[in-house]
Each structure stands twice: as C-alpha cells, then as structure tokens.
C-alpha cells in the first residue's frame, strides 16, 4: 500500500535533548513537508523540500533541522533550541507545486518533560 | 499573520441536517482551495478542492462554494452523518499552502 509513515506515534524526551522524528513515503512524491499543530491553531509549516538535497524554511523553522538525502525520507530533528517543542507533528508529501493536494502521515505527538 | 481563518472553532448539527463550515482568506494571490478532514491522532485527509476559476465544486454529499470577491469559501455537507464528526481544515494555495485553525464538527444522532 502506498502512503506516508511516521514513527513513533508518541515520543517523550527530556528537556535539552535533541530528538529526530521519522517520515517515510512510498508515493514517489517529489515534495515533502513538516507541520506542527498546536491546540486552536492551524497547521504551521516548519520546513519543506521540493526535491532531494534541497529544502527551505517554513514559517516556524527556528529550533528545527531537516535533511533530504533520499526521495522517500524527510526526517525532522527537534533541537534543544526549540523553546516549546511539545506538539503534534505532521509530515506530508505531494507531487509538488501548490495545486496538488498533500497527503499526510498519522503524526507524531512529542512531549518534552 | 493568519492568512486563512476559520472563525468557528466548533459546530454541532443534528444527523440528516446540513453542516456549513466557513473559511475566510486575506491573500488575493491564493487561487486554489482545499478542505481536509482530520480524526483525532491521525493526519488530515483530503476531502475536496476548488480552483479560483470556479465558484462551486460538488462531490457526493460535499459541496464547496467560493466567493472570490468576499474572499470566502464554505463547505456544505448534506445530509450530515455521525461519521462526519471530525476537525475540518480549510487550506489555500498560491505560492505555498496555508491552513486555517480548523472547525470541530459534531454530528449528533
């Protein structure tokens, strides 16, 4: 089955630790995205990548880093510099361009203790 | 700066009645609009979209209306079913895609 997988579903980390969230897709999509969802807010774009080995900052990139070494994978690292890391993180992919719907993974809920 | 706004955080309707979810946007460069549906602890799934060259798009029980002059779009669900209970996100696309905060729809049996 084609789709997007995110792991783990729930993640707990101590304050000050870096943590990496996994996102894999087998849809052969060029573009991949990371969003953050907080209560009462829409999905806010953290980083996106239109092609392998290239990525751009979204609206709230501070305290996050990404890599895109393979078309299928777009991991997100939440660094200790992110002041409020506890949130629900969503990864998405699309065929690319602004007129194609994005397909979302199931999300990872990160809780920093 | 929220470019896409869903001013109603929640909506409750009776099964069989119409659900109307509203969305406003501020950026006139947006020219493609989408609605996503999200269940708890899951990622959003695409529901329906509309291009700015149209004012209506229908897919089964779901219809999206676009009023470009008012920068407003709405999603109509008729008839509403309990399984429609979810959070609905409006999204607008131009150079990039922006999402609203979502409206939680509850359909009561």
* DSSP secondary structure letters along B30-48: --EEEEEEE-TTS--EEEE
Distance CA A72, CA A49 (A): 11
Walking along chain A (113 residues) 10 residues at a time, the average pLDDT comes out as 86 91 95 90 90 93 97 96 92 84 93 90
Q: Does A82 touch chain B if contact means CB atoms closer than 8 Å?
A: no
User: Per the omega criterion (within 30 degrees of 0), is the bond before A113 cis?
Assistant: no
Of B85, B70, B3, nearest to B38 by C-alpha is B85
Set of chain A residues whose Cβ sits within 8 Å of the Cβ of B34: 101
Bridge partners of residue B92, in order along the sequence: B33, B98
Q: Does A109 touch chain B if contact means CB atoms closer than 8 Å?
A: yes
pLDDT in tens, A71-99: 999 999 999 888 899 999 999 999 877 67
Per-residue model confidence (pLDDT) at position A2? 67
User: Is the pLDDT at B61 greater than 80, yes or no?
Assistant: yes
Query: How does residue B2 score in pLDDT terms, banded at 50, 70 and 90?
Result: confident
For B3, which residue in chain A has the nearest alpha carbon?
A: A42
pLDDT in tens, B13-38: 999 999 999 999 999 999 999 999 99
Per-residue model confidence (pLDDT) at position A96? 76
Asked if residues B77 and B19 have their Cβ atoms less than 8 Å apart, the reply is yes
Give the distance from residue B1's alpha carbon to the nearest chain A alpha carbon, in angstroms: 10
Of B2, B42, B49, the CB nearest to A101: B49
**SS3 state of residue B82:** helix
User: Is the pLDDT at B52 greater than 80, yes or no?
Assistant: yes
Set of chain A residues whose Cβ sits within 8 Å of the Cβ of B44: 43, 90, 104
Of B72, B58, B66, nearest to B26 by C-alpha is B72
Residues ≥6 apart with Cβ < 8 Å to B83: B107
C-alpha neighbours within 13 Å on the C-beta side of residue B21: 34
Of A42, A101, A106, the CB nearest to B99: A42
Distance CA A64, CA B78 (A): 42
Kindly state the DSSP code that residue A70 receives in the 8-state scheme: B
**CB pairs < 8 Å spanning A and B:** 54
For B46, which residue in chain A has the nearest alpha carbon?
A: A101
With an 8 Å Cβ cutoff, are B41 and A109 in contact?
Answer: yes
Residues ≥6 apart with Cβ < 8 Å to B4: A42, B23, B24, B25, B26, B90, B91, B92, B98, B99, B100
Set of chain B residues whose Cβ sits within 8 Å of the Cβ of A90: 43-44
């Amino acid at each position: 089955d084609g789709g997007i997988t995110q792991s783990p579903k729930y993640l707990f980390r101590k304050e000050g630790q870096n943590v990496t969230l996994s996102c894999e897709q087998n849809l052969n999509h060029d573009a991949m995205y990371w969003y953050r969802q907080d209560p009462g807010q829409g999905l806010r774009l953290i980083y996106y990548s239109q092609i392998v080995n290239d990525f751009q900052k979204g609206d709230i990139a501070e305290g996050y880093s990404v890599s895109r070494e393979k078309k299928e994978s777009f991991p997100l690292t939440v660094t200790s510099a992110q002041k409020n890391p506890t949130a629900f993180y969503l990864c998405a992919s699309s065929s690319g361009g602004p007129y194609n719907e994005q397909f979302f993974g199931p999300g990872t809920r990160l809780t920093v203790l | 700066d929220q470019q896409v706004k869903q001013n109603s955080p929640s909506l409750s309707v009776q099964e069989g009645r119409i659900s109307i979810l509203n969305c406003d946007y501020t950026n006139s460069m947006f020219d493609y609009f989408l609605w996503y549906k999200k269940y708890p602890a899951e990622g959003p799934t695409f529901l329906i979209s509309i291009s700015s060259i149209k004012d209506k798009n229908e897919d089964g029980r779901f219809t999206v209306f676009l009023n470009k002059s008012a920068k407003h779009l709405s999603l109509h669900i008729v008839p509403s079913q309990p399984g429609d209970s979810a959070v609905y996100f409006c999204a607008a696309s131009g150079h990039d895609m922006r999402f609203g905060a979502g409206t939680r729809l509850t359909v009561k049996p």
